[in-house]
Amino acid sequence: MKVKLKNPQALPNAWKSCGMTIEEWRDLEAGKTVEVKSVPELIKGNIDVVGSASKQGQSPKGAK
């Protein structure tokens, strides 16, 4: 899934415990969208889920 900070800000230095690389962590702090496997509990209140990596299970456009 893709996540982005609600408000670009400095985060606690916990990129390892959140399963990210330091580059992904810096991108997240800079306000960019990053790909994660799960929403880290430590920063859950500071981020928004903006998309999913997988389109599986979604109905085709126009399907009812």
pLDDT tens-digit readout, 2-58: 999 988 777 888 888 888 899 998 999 898 999 988 887 888 888 899 987 555 445
Task: Please state the pTM of the whole predicted model.
Answer: 0.69
Flag whether 61 is in a domain: no
Question: What is the full DSSP assignment across the chain?
Answer: -EEEESS-----S-TTTTT--HHHHHHHHTT--EE-SS--GGGGGGEEEEE-S--TTPPPTT--
Specify if 11 maps to a domain.
yes
Residue 19 in domain:
yes
**What is the domain range of residue 24?**
2-51
Kindly state whether residue 59 falls inside one of the protein's structural domains: no
The pLDDT value recorded for residue 54 is 55
The verdict on residue 43 lying in a domain is yes
Task: Tell me if 10 is assigned to some domain.
Answer: yes
Domain count, the chain: 1
Kindly state whether residue 40 falls inside one of the protein's structural domains: yes
